[in-house]
Structure 1
Amino acid sequence: MAIEKSLIQPEPVISAIINGDNTGVLKINGEEHPYEAPDVNDLRQALMKRVIGEAATLGRPVRVTSMDDSGVSYLVVSPVGEVEEEQPEAVPEDASRIIERIPSAPAATTTVTPSTATTTVTKGPAAAAGTAAPVEAPATRRSIREASSFLAAPSTVEPAAQGIRGWLNSLGMSLAPSEDELSEREDIRLASKHFAGTRTIAVANQKGGSNKTPTVADLAAVFGRNGGSVVAWDNNPTTGTLGWRTQQGDHSRSALDVIAAADALLSPTAQSADINAFVHHQSTDKYDVLRSDADVAGTHEVTAEEVDILHRVVSKYYRMIVMDSGNNHRSAEWIRMIDHADQLVVPTTNVEDRVEAALLTLQGLDLKGERSAALAANAVVIVSEMQKGETRLSQQTAEKFRPYVRDVVVVPFDEALKSGQIRYGALAPATRRAWLRAAAAVARGL
């Protein structure tokens, strides 16, 4: 049965804050009680146990405002462990502040037993059945061609899987996802999209140290992990860093070896697995890397025609190409990369000369010709923080570019991106979310 809300009093005012590092704070009438647990579900269980104990001590239900990465939820907890979610408009102003509007969800009551986390779910009362009115035949018949589809438009939304709502749903409720979770689902949908034909993403900034290689690796990882057929191509005139910062296969072949074997790889008898002898698979991030030549004594410089050959080969074997680049915007392979690009990504840090180089990259393409100007106008700028405490500076950098490009995304500082091999799964949740947001922004332009 539903919790009797008329028994609730203005006090105690209770709020639960759940942090991303598995720590939390329970506030009761302003008094803070810190919590820490091995994982977020244990943390929620501990907080809920304390709230149920508070309700049991008072002998009546209490209201709780719960805040985590997925948003804000307004809960009513009974002395026996029943939990209901309230809509913001039903919460008295003196009980909690309304921070966000929460989508409506089916009414449900969950009984939480703190020691065992078992549940009993009681659905809200069904609407009373009315008396059906007699159906009258239409006065005149209409053409069957005028009939629209009898299939209902799909409107079902999967219940929340994240945050406090996801946890409550795991205990038997059926709460709708928050706006943040819905936004993340939409970004995943975009990053998972399959396009008709191969799409090429050019990652370019005329200045070294602008975070080009991590941008290539992380975008490729997002698209690869979401089911794409992705290759990250190091289109550098000399030894590029993409090979250093990604996993090496059981060989040392590079783009030059692909050029030498192009006829065989492009032949009608070539099989999809043949490309595996030339690329380096990223086992956890689900994309391949085509390395640049790493021979320190090498003298071969890739020509524009050879870039065309390489692009034909990788287009045959992959649906998405993410191209890393050098710093010389006048070189043949840089110019040809732009010719093949469907989407331009311009990475930068907050360092002044990198920001200026990003601007010059966009301006140069705008002046070059109609097609490159369209790429510049449709570009996605990604601002990566290279050290802690740059949040305000990053927003200032982002605002400089917003009037001139299609989208700007800020990626927070992450220790896992500073050096060594780049592993998407090693990044902090906020960093992964930012790269997913960046990949979705890129996908919108494809």
Structure 2
Amino acid sequence: MMETQALDFPKIDAVLRANGTGEVTINGTSHAIQADDEAAVLREALSLITDTAAQLGRPVKVRTTDPDGQGLIVVSPDGIVSEATQAKPSPRRQKNPEPAASAPPPVQAPAEPSAEKADAPAAPVTFGAAVSRVQESAPAAEEVVLEPVTRRSLKETSFLVSAPVLEPATRGWRGVLTRLGFRMEPSPEELAEREDIRTVSQHWPGPRTVAVVNRKGGANKTPTVVMLSAILARYSGAATVAWDNNESQGTLGWRTEQGSHDNSVLDLIDSSQTLLSPSTNAAEIARFVHHQTSDKFDVLRSDENDEGDHEVTAEEVDIAHQVLTRYYRLIVMDSGNTARSANWRQMITHTNQLVVPVTAIEDRAEAARLTLQTLESRGGHDAALARNAVVIVSESTDAKRSMSGDALKRAKDEARRIADGFAPHVRAVVRIPYDPALVNGPIRYDALQPATRRAWLAAAAAVAKGF
């Protein structure tokens, strides 16, 4: 009843921002709001809107905008909030219907959604309880036929409800309204994020190995290894190790925390017999890996011998992989730039999921294409990895340094163009926005901007679907 009394006048728009500010615009008059947190911003916004409704003596409609998207709510003069629903369009009459020749009128089945309705903007998520339909099409009493009671086995009966309970919204307008006592359903964006979290939180039988490859340097391989390891370790709780499988000296150790020792993959290989012994305690692996205290995964560094006189062999890759699969559920492997090297090729034989990072620059994208093409041409396991690969396209940093609006747009357009180019050839493509926290120094998940964290979560979910 409240919604039917709400009119489109006055036009009210309410904006809620994550930085503790907001804005309510009533018929073109803007009211800026600044408070300590989102809840305080929303309380002040609702106060302004409720006063307007009280002056009019009827509910008002409010168009809401927050980081999760847009919605439409109704606010009563008493401050009661409900979700607005869009009116259903009236069915169009058929022009010049041809009468059926001496045929009885057909029984009408429930109407299928028309193409016009499918193309129309989707109605906002309905908040609150839906009105149940009770006995819409109950048969007439004389038509009821009593069936004989059939005894069933108790094994075929269960009183448990299998459908999960939808938790209320936690973000944006919906989340703040929920905390104020109005139970709101989550937005489509929040539901999508919850599904990605559920995907990366799964446990799977047996260990999994992810190889991050691109034969061109500067393609974002190392940041990709760190981000995937951090997200999968944080959400799944699975023991995770990031392994720098560069044939000589890699950079994974430079971008992550160092432990209390300087051991590398060569030290682990030298101690492999001890580490594979049934009597060895699981905690002994800490002597060879470097734990990331905030992101909850370990790093196995490449050899950092200044002389650089040792190249990892295929046999050494097998030994190290055998050790790591005993102590870890998930292995994320960084790689060098030489797809012909023995350690690179042997890494591929152990890989369950291939990830190809690309910085949105032509030569990096071309190198990624050639990497996939090389694997596809080998057939068998390698070709299957290429077809099932996840490509992660990161925006170029060059345009960001200039801070030019045109340069920023070109960077986004180029990332989109490259992502679209890979889409027909692999299982999934994810785009990552530029973030200065990924450019230099140690990489930390918590240091990223919210939009970047969300994009990397989507990338990790795409990878986990391949497990």
Q: Give 5+ residue unaligned stretches, structure 2.
A: 90-119, 136-140, 401-407
| Shift in Å, 1:125 | 11
Give the conservation status (yes or no) of the 8 Å contact 1:350–1:397. yes
| Equivalent runs, 1:103-142 vs 2, <5 Å | 103-107=125-129, 139=148, 141-142=150-151
The AA in structure 2 aligned to 1:54 is T
2:68 aligns to what? 70
SS at match of 1:63: strand
Give the conservation status (yes or no) of the 8 Å contact 2:249–2:308. no
| Shift in Å, 1:79 | 2.9
Q: Deviations over 1:351-396 (max 9, x none)?
A: 1100000000000000123110000000000001133422222111
2:373 aligns to what? 363
Cα RMSD between the aligned structures?
2.7
2:114 aligns to what? none
Over 3 Å counting, the alpha-carbon distance change for 1:45 and 1:245 in structure 2 is farther
Of 202, 217, 226, which residue of structure 2 is paired with 1:217?
A: 226
| Shift in Å, 1:80 | 3.2
2:460 aligns to what? 439
| Shift in Å, 1:143 | 5.2
Over 3 Å counting, the alpha-carbon distance change for 1:331 and 1:402 in structure 2 is same
Of 415, 430, 453, which residue of structure 2 is paired with 1:409?
A: 430
SS at match of 2:253: coil
Over 3 Å counting, the alpha-carbon distance change for 1:219 and 1:371 in structure 2 is same
Of 215, 229, 253, which residue of structure 1 is paired with 2:239?
A: 229
1:164 aligns to what? 173
CA distance in 1, matches of 2:50, 2:283: 58
Deviates more, 1:14-23 or 1:251-260: 14-23
SS at match of 1:243: helix
Could you tell me the TM-score, scaled by structure 1's length?
A: 0.87
Give the conservation status (yes or no) of the 8 Å contact 1:71–1:100. no
Q: Deviations over 1:176-217 (max 9, x none)?
A: 212111111111111011110000000000000000000000
1:396 aligns to what? 417
1:117 aligns to what? none
Give the conservation status (yes or no) of the 8 Å contact 2:248–2:312. no
| Shift in Å, 1:436 | 0.5
CA distance in 1, matches of 2:415, 2:42: 33
Deviates more, 1:11-20 or 1:374-383: 11-20
Q: Deviations over 1:8-45 (max 9, x none)?
A: 33311111123444443322223444444444333333
Give the conservation status (yes or no) of the 8 Å contact 1:158–1:176. yes
Q: Give 5+ residue unaligned stretches, structure 1.
A: 92-97, 109-123
Deviates more, 1:429-438 or 1:136-145: 136-145
Deviates more, 1:330-339 or 1:63-72: 63-72
1:85 aligns to what? 83
Q: Deviations over 1:83-109 (max 9, x none)?
A: 222233489xxxxxx95433334349x
Over 3 Å counting, the alpha-carbon distance change for 1:250 and 1:42 in structure 2 is farther
The AA in structure 1 aligned to 2:83 is E
2:331 aligns to what? 321
| Shift in Å, 1:142 | 4.3
Over 3 Å counting, the alpha-carbon distance change for 1:125 and 1:369 in structure 2 is closer
1:384 aligns to what? 394
Give the conservation status (yes or no) of the 8 Å contact 1:409–1:438. yes
SS at match of 1:240: coil
| Equivalent runs, 1:193-208 vs 2, <5 Å | 193-208=202-217
| Equivalent runs, 1:237-248 vs 2, <5 Å | 237-248=247-258
The AA in structure 2 aligned to 1:215 is T
Give the conservation status (yes or no) of the 8 Å contact 1:16–1:67. yes
CA distance in 1, matches of 2:226, 2:234: 12
CA distance in 2, matches of 1:185, 1:421: 28
SS at match of 2:357: strand
1:274 aligns to what? 284
Of 378, 383, 393, which residue of structure 2 is paired with 1:373?
A: 383
SS at match of 2:249: coil
CA distance in 1, matches of 2:72, 2:253: 49
| Shift in Å, 1:47 | 2.4
| Shift in Å, 1:5 | 4.0
Matched, 1:420 2:441: yes
Deviates more, 1:154-163 or 1:178-187: 154-163
**Aligned residue pairs, count:** 418
Over 3 Å counting, the alpha-carbon distance change for 1:151 and 1:424 in structure 2 is same
Give the conservation status (yes or no) of the 8 Å contact 1:344–1:378. yes
SS at match of 1:74: strand
Q: Deviations over 1:53-108 (max 9, x none)?
A: 333443432211112122333222223322222233489xxxxxx95433334349
CA distance in 2, matches of 1:290, 1:392: 37
Give the conservation status (yes or no) of the 8 Å contact 1:74–1:88. no
SS at match of 1:348: strand
1:49 aligns to what? 47
The AA in structure 2 aligned to 1:359 is R
Give the conservation status (yes or no) of the 8 Å contact 1:190–1:440. yes
CA distance in 1, matches of 2:386, 2:212: 12
Matched, 1:18 2:27: no
CA distance in 1, matches of 2:176, 2:242: 37
Deviates more, 1:58-67 or 1:363-372: 58-67
The AA in structure 1 aligned to 2:78 is V
CA distance in 1, matches of 2:225, 2:38: 31
CA distance in 2, matches of 1:79, 1:125: 27
| Shift in Å, 1:439 | 0.6
CA distance in 2, matches of 1:223, 1:315: 16
Matched, 1:350 2:357: no
SS at match of 2:295: coil
2:96 aligns to what? none
Of 188, 196, 206, which residue of structure 1 is paired with 2:197?
A: 188
SS at match of 1:329: coil
Give the conservation status (yes or no) of the 8 Å contact 2:38–2:176. no
Percent identical among aligned pairs is: 50
Asked which structure has the greater CA Rg, the reply is 2
| Shift in Å, 1:138 | 5.6
Deviates more, 1:164-173 or 1:260-269: 164-173
2:123 aligns to what? 101
1:120 aligns to what? none
